[in-house]
A and B are shown apart, each in its own frame.
Chain A
Amino acid sequence: MSRDTLLRVTGVGKRFGGLQALTDVNLAITRGHIHGLIGPNGAGKTTCFNVITGLYQPDSGHFELAGKPYSPTAPHAVASAGIARTFQNIRLFGDMSALENVMVGRHVRTHQGVLGAIFRHPAARSEEAQIVAHAEALLEFVGIAHLAQRTARHLSYGDQRRVEIARALATEPLLLALDEPAAGMNATEKSELRDLLTRIRDRGISLLLIEHDVKLMMGLCDRITVLDYGKVIAEGAPVEVQQNPAVIAAYLGVEAA
Chain B
Amino acid sequence: MDILAQQLINGLVLGAMYALVALGYTMVYGVLNLINFAHGDVLMIGAMVGWSLLQAIQYLSPELPGFLALMLAIAGAIPVCVIVSVLIERVAYRRLRDAPRLAPLITAIGISILLQTLAMMIWGRNPLPFPQVLPSDPLHVMGALITPTQVLLLLLAAAAMIGLSLLVERTRMGRAMRAVAENPRIAALMGVNANRVIVFTFAIGAALAAVAGVMWGANYASAQFAMGFTPGLKAFSAAVLGGIGNIYGAMLGGILLGLIESLGAGYIGDLTAGVLGSHYQDIFAFIVLILVLTLRPSGIMGERVADRS
Q: Do chains A and B touch in the complex (CB under 8 A)?
A: yes
B306 partner, pick from A17, A50, A55, beta carbons under 8 A: A17
Q: Check: B307 CB closer than 8 A to any chain A CB.
A: yes
Q: Check: A56 CB closer than 8 A to any chain B CB.
A: yes
Q: Check: B308 CB closer than 8 A to any chain A CB.
A: yes
Classify chain B: how many residues form its interface, as a range.
under 10
* A-B pair number, CB within 8 angstroms: 10
| Chain A nearest Cβ from B115, distance in angstroms | 33
Q: Check: A242 CB closer than 8 A to any chain B CB.
A: no
| Chain B nearest Cβ from A117, distance in angstroms | 25
Complex Cα–Cα for A86 and B284 (A): 44
Question: What chain A residues lie within 8 Å of B306 (beta carbons)?
Answer: 16-17
Question: What chain B residues lie within 8 Å of A56 (beta carbons)?
Answer: 307-309
* Residues in B253-309 with C-beta less than 8 Å from chain A: 306-309
Q: Check: A88 CB closer than 8 A to any chain B CB.
A: no
Closest residue of chain A to B303 (Cβ to Cβ) is A17
Q: Check: A57 CB closer than 8 A to any chain B CB.
A: yes
Complex Cα–Cα for A16 and B303 (A): 13
Question: What chain A residues lie within 8 Å of B309 (beta carbons)?
Answer: 50, 55-56
| Chain B nearest Cβ from A19, distance in angstroms | 10
Question: What chain B residues lie within 8 Å of A55 (beta carbons)?
Answer: 309
| Chain B nearest Cβ from A54, distance in angstroms | 10
Over the window 205-224 of chain A, the binary record of Cβ atoms lying under 8 Å from chain B Cβ atoms (1 yes, 0 no) is: 00000000000000000000
Complex Cα–Cα for A249 and B307 (A): 32
* Residues in A1-28 with C-beta less than 8 Å from chain B: 16-17
Point out residues on B near A: beta carbons under 8 Å: 306-309
User: Mind listing 10 A-B residue pairs with CB under 8 Å?
Assistant: A16-B306, A16-B307, A16-B308, A17-B306, A50-B309, A55-B309, A56-B307, A56-B308, A56-B309, A57-B307
Given contacts A16-B308, A56-B308, 8 further A-B contacts (CB under 8 A): A16-B306, A16-B307, A17-B306, A50-B309, A55-B309, A56-B307, A56-B309, A57-B307
